C-alpha cells in the first residue's frame, strides 16, 4: 500500500511517497518514505502521477508472485544519481539546523547536543559526494541502475589512484556507503538493489600506527618551545613601539597563548575540544579534581591530578592553574579566549609553534596518546586509566598497553616525564615579573 503526503518546510510544500516494506517488520518498523523531489517531481500533479505508476508496478509484481525482491523491475523507474545527492545533502542540512536549534535552546547545558548533525560532518559529506559525482561523470553513470558491482570495484580502484591518504579514502568510502544505505533502507520494492554494492565498498586497509610517545628530551623541547613562543609574543605586546612590527611573520593581533593549551593537554589527556570547553566551574582547585565532559558522548569523567589513589599526576600544574585563575579576570573558560565568546583552537599560532619545536607528529591528539603511555609505564591500572581518559578497556589493552616495554619510577607523572623542574620555572615566571606574567586571558 502506497500513498502520498505533503509537508510544509520553511514555507515550501514538499511531497513524500509512503509505503510499507513488510520484510522489515510490521507497523512503523516497515514504514518507508522518500521525497518526490529525489526523482525531479515537485508539483502535486507530477507526484500523483508518480504514485499511480508506483501502484501499477506493485500490482504487476504481486500478480507475477515475485514478491518484493523482483530484480527485473529495477529499470522500471530510473532515478538520477545527481538528484539523489541533492536530496541527501538537503536532508543532512536539516539535521545540522536541528543541531544548532538544540544548542541555542540549551545554552546552559555543558554537554554536547546529540540532536541532529554537526556542520563538520556535513562538509565531509558534501566533499565525499562531490568526489562520487566526479567518478559518475567519468564513468558515464547517470542512473542508479548503472552503478553495478563492477562499477563499485572500478570506483574503488579510481579512488585509490587519486593520490589521497588511505585514511581519507576510507572516510570517503564510509560517507558514500551512508548515502547509498539511506536509499537502500528507504527504497520502494522496484528500486535498485544496493546490498551487493554496499558489501563491495569496504574501507581501504591501512597499517595501524604505534601510539606516539615523546621522549623526555622531546617533552622538554615542546614545553620550552611553547614557553618561548608566549614569552616573545608578550615581549612584543609589552613594547608599544613594536606594536606594528612583525615577529617571524606573526602579527601581534594574531597572538594567542599556546603554553596553557599545551600543558592542559599534556597533563590531563583530554581531547582538543574537551580542553577548549573546560570551564573553571569544572575544576576543584583545592582538591585538584577535574570534571571533563566527553567530546563524543557528553558524559562526565573525573580526573584527580593531586591525590588520585593511583598516584599524583602533576601537583605543580595545579599550582599553575591557580595562578591562571587569578589572571583570567572572571573569564568563564580555563583557556584564553582572546576577546572571543569562547576559546578556539589557534591553528595559525600552533603551526608557528610546531616550527619552533621541530618535533615530529606534534599534534593535540599525540599528547593524549603520550599521557596514556606514560601512565601505563608508571603502573596506573587499566580501569583507572580508562576512567581518566574515557578510553575503553579494550582500546587501552590493545592499542597502548601492548606497546609498553618498561616500568618508570617516580613520585608523580610530571616527574617521570622529566619536566617537573620546567614546571617550577614556569610557575615562578607566572608569579614574578617575567614575560609569562603578561599573558592575557581575554
Alpha carbon distance 48, 66 (integer Å): 25
**Residue 146 · residue 84 · CB < 8 Å:** no
SS3 content of the chain, % helix, strand, coil (to 5): 55, 10, 35
> What is the SS3 assignment for 405?
coil
Beta bridge partner(s), residue 20: 31
Would you state the pLDDT for residue 290? 92
Buried/exposed code over 231-265 (b: 16+ C-beta within 10 A; e: otherwise)? bebbebbeeeeeeeeebeebebeebbbbbbbbbbb
Counts of helices then strands in the chain (DSSP H, E) = 16, 6
Of the candidate CATH numbers 1.10.443.10, 3.30.420.40, 1.10.3720.10, 3.40.50.150, the domain formed by 216-438 belongs to 1.10.443.10
CATH 1.10.443.10 in the chain is located at 216-438
E strand residue ranges, 199-324: 283-284, 289-293, 300-304
* C-alpha span between 228 and 169 (Å, rounded): 38
Other C-beta atoms closer than 10 Å to the C-beta of 352 total: 20
The set of cell numbers assigned to 217 is 628530551
pLDDT by residue for the chain (442 residues), tens digit each? Answer: 677 788 876 677 888 877 665 555 556 666 767 777 766 677 888 888 777 777 766 665 455 443 333 333 333 334 567 777 777 777 777 777 777 776 666 654 444 445 667 778 888 888 888 888 888 888 888 776 677 778 888 888 888 888 888 888 888 888 888 887 776 655 554 444 556 566 666 666 666 667 778 888 999 999 888 888 777 665 544 444 444 343 343 334 356 788 889 999 999 999 988 998 899 999 999 989 999 988 777 788 999 988 888 888 889 999 999 988 888 878 888 888 766 677 888 887 888 888 888 888 888 888 988 898 888 888 888 898 888 888 888 888 877 876 776 788 888 888 998 889 999 988 888 887 666 666 666 5
Kindly state the DSSP code that residue 35 receives in the 8-state scheme: E
In this prediction the pTM is 0.57
Going from the C-alpha of 194 to that of each of 145, 220, 287, 373, 395, the distances in angstroms are: 9, 54, 57, 43, 33
Can you state the angle between helices 347-357 and 216-238, rounded to 10 degrees? 120
Task: Give the per-residue pLDDT at 211.
Answer: 73
| Residue among 3, 209, 222, 179 at smallest CA distance from 84 | 179
- Separation of CA 284 from chain center: 28
* DSSP-H helix ranges across 247-405: 259-268, 272-276, 315-327, 347-357, 364-378, 382-389, 393-399
Q: Are 58 and 18 in contact (CB under 8 A)?
A: no
Give the residue from 151, 156, 128, 125 showing the smallest Cα distance to 140: 151
Amino acid at each position: 500500500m502506497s500513498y502520498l503526503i505533503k509537508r510544509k518546510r520553511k514555507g515550501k510544500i514538499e511531497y513524500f511517497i509512503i509505503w510499507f516494506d513488510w520484510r522489515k517488520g510490521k507497523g512503523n518498523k516497515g514504514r518507508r518514505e522518500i521525497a518526490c523531489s529525489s526523482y525531479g517531481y515537485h508539483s502535486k500533479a507530477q507526484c500523483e502521477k508518480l504514485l499511480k505508476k508506483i501502484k501499477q508496478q506493485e500490482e504487476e509484481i504481486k500478480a507475477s508472485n515475485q514478491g518484493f525482491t523482483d530484480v527485473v523491475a529495477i529499470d522500471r523507474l530510473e532515478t538520477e544519481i545527481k538528484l539523489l545527492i541533492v536530496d541527501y545533502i538537503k536532508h543532512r542540512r536539516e539535521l545540522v539546523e536541528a543541531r544548532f536549534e538544540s544548542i541555542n535552546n540549551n545554552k546552559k547545558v555543558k554537554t554536547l547536543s546529540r540532536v541532529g548533525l554537526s556542520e563538520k560532518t556535513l562538509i565531509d559529506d558534501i566533499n565525499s559526494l562531490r568526489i562520487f559525482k566526479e567518478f559518475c561523470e567519468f564513468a558515464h553513470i547517470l542512473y542508479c541502475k548503472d552503478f553495478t558491482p563492477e562499477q563499485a570495484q572500478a570506483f574503488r580502484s579510481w579512488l585509490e589512484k587519486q593520490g589521497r591518504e588511505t585514511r581519507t579514502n576510507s572516510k570517503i568510502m564510509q560517507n558514500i556507503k551512508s548515502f547509498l544505505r539511506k536509499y537502500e533502507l528507504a527504497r520502494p520494492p522496484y528500486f535498485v538493489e544496493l546490498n551487493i554494492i554496499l558489501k563491495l565498498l569496504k574501507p581501504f586497509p591501512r597499517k595501524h600506527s604505534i601510539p606516539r610517545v615523546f621522549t623526555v628530551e622531546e617533552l622538554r623541547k615542546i614545553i620550552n618551545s611553547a614557553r618561548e613562543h608566549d614569552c616573545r609574543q608578550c615581549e612584543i605586546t609589552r613594547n608599544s613601539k613594536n606594536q606594528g612590527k612583525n615577529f617571524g611573520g606573526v602579527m601581534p593581533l594574531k597572538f594567542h597563548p599556546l603554553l596553557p593549551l599545551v600543558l592542559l593537554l599534556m597533563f590531563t589527556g583530554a581531547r582538543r575540544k574537551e580542553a577548549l570547553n573546560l570551564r573553571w566551574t569544572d575544576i576543584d582547585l583545592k582538591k585538584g579534581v577535574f570534571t571533563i565532559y566527553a567530546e563524543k558522548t557528553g558524559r562526565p569523567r573525573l580526573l584527580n591530578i593531586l591525590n588520585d589513589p593511583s598516584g599524583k599526576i602533576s601537583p605543580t600544574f595545579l599550582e599553575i592553574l591557580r595562578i591562571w585563575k587569578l589572571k583570567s579576570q572572571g573569564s568563564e573558560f580555563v583557556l584564553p579566549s582572546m576577546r572571543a565568546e569562547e576559546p578556539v583552537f589557534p591553528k595559525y599560532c600552533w603551526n608557528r609553534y610546531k616550527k619552533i619545536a621541530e618535533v615530529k607528529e606534534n599534534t593535540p591528539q599525540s599528547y593524549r596518546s603520550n599521557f596514556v603511555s606514560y601512565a601505563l609505564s608508571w603502573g596506573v591500572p587499566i580501569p583507572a586509566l580508562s576512567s581518566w581518559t574515557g578510553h575503553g578497556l579494550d582500546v587501552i589493552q590493545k592499542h597502548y598497553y601492548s606497546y609498553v616495554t618498561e616500568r618508570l619510577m617516580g613520585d608523580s607523572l610530571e616527574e617521570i616525564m622529566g619536566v617537573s623542574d620546567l614546571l617550577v620555572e614556569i610557575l615562578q615566571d607566572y608569579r614574578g615579573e617575567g614575560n609569562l606574567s603578561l599573558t592575557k586571558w581575554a
